Amino acid sequence: MHVPAARIVFSPEDRAEIASATIEILSTGAMTLGAHTNEFESAFAAAHRAPFAVAVSSGTAALEIILRSLDVQGADVVVPTNTFAATAFAVIRAGATPVFADVSPDTFALTARDVAAAVTPNTRAVVLVHIGGLIASDVAELAAFCADRGLALVEDAAHAHGCRHGEGYAGSFGVAGAFSFYPTKLITSGEGGMIVTADPAIHEAALVYRDQGKAGFLGNTHIKQGYAWRLSEMHAVTGKVHLRHLDEFLTTRAAVAARYDAALDALDGATRLRVPAGDVCNYYKYIVLPRPGVDRARLKKELKERYGVSLSGEVYEAPLHQQPVFSDYAGRSLPVAEDLCARHVCLPIHSDMTDAEADHVVTSFAAALASLDLDG
């Protein structure tokens, strides 16, 4: 059996619907900021119980727009070091300085204590990243910490479509959340992003920023330095159709995760992240920590070559404070994140994965881990 690292799921019916909508878009010429974008925004807002949603060209654009509407220019913004480079790029492009922080080994996410160690008198915002779709159970503590100090909490929810902690959905714990629809993400539009917020001022600013800073779609008065951050109607219809499957994808992925949980809990030599009972995790990534000393490259090679199992990409392989492009921003060492980045692996998990595939993945993982032990 061969299990790939990722699989993008569009049913034949979805493909046909997107194809016929595309023909309609091409024949009417309504190719941007039209009905499909509006419908995608409404459906995404409803799925996340958000008062407002604004569709944009990418997840990175969503982050930059949120940061620009918070006016972070010249300020410091705290970012976890174990995130995608785009999180910190958005901070820099919004005119601010990223300050990298360490994270908790239980959630891979920032805690109030990590942020306290990174804040400066010039800090204006904090970006919380829901790694792998897990919303940290201490998110309320972090939000309270930020509120006490007048820091805006922004959620990089690129991994967290449909995720929930308690009654709160991803994007509702801070001032706004940024989602991505890149092909590997839980819901995709090919390329695209979404801002969700309950703040009418951020909503208004986002509408202006995404369309070249124009006060309105039809006018030519530019009130902000915006950009071409619109989402095309072809992308919007793709995302709208894919989003209809969110609940079904969450159910399938939770079933796979339950099989993985049971198998890993019976195994020595590897631990997994714990999702609080009652919460919804989309398992964008299923994260496992093999015991210290396991050679990750060998483990991955063994799984692929001997068992046909490709692990999915790490989140993330190297922390940002150790990436060449951020050398100007690298400060102190961040030992927890450094260890997590070096050690974790992600079992493949797909929105249409079968029980047989899931069982093959975990049995292979256990066998490969044991064989590494035997070889020393």
Ligand X SMILES: *Cc1c(COP(=O)(O)O)cnc(C)c1O
Residues that bind ligand X (CB under 6 A): 58-60, 83-84, 86-87, 129, 156, 158-159, 180, 182, 193
What is the closest distance, in whole angstroms, from the C-beta atom of residue 234 to ligand X in the complex?
16
Q: Toward ligand X, which CB reaches closer, 177 or 193?
A: 193
Q: What angle do CA 113, 114, 116 make, to 5 degrees?
A: 65
Least distance CB 22 / ligand X (angstroms): 21
d(C-alpha 160, C-alpha 180), whole Å: 9
* Active-site residue flag, 185: yes
CB of 319 to ligand X, least distance (A): 13
Question: Of the listed 185, 214, 240, 285, which one is catalytic?
Answer: 185
Q: How far is the CB of 153 from ligand X (least distance, A)?
A: 16
Tell me if residue 125 falls in helix, strand or coil.
Answer: strand
Shortest approach of ligand X to residue 344 CB, angstroms?
15
166: left (phi over 0), alpha (psi -120 to 50) or beta: left
With respect to ligand X, which residue has the nearer C-beta, 214 or 235? Answer: 235
Closest CA to 101 of 331, 344, 342, 317: 331
C-alpha of 220 from chain center: 35
Of 191 and 357, nearer to ligand X (C-beta) is 191
Query: Is the Cβ–Cβ distance between 160 and 187 less than 8 Å?
Result: no
Tokens of 272: 């997994």
Retrieve residue 295's tokens. Answer: 């050679």
Residue 13 host element (H or E):
helix 12-28
Residues 6+ apart with CB under 8 A from 124: 70, 71, 72, 75, 76, 77, 96, 151, 152
Whose Cβ is closer to ligand X: residue 162's or residue 193's? 193
d(CA 123, CA 153) in angstroms, rounded, equals 11
Is the Cβ of residue 134 or residue 362 nearer to ligand X in the bound state?
Answer: 134
Cβ-closest position to ligand X: 59
Task: Give the active site residues.
Answer: 185
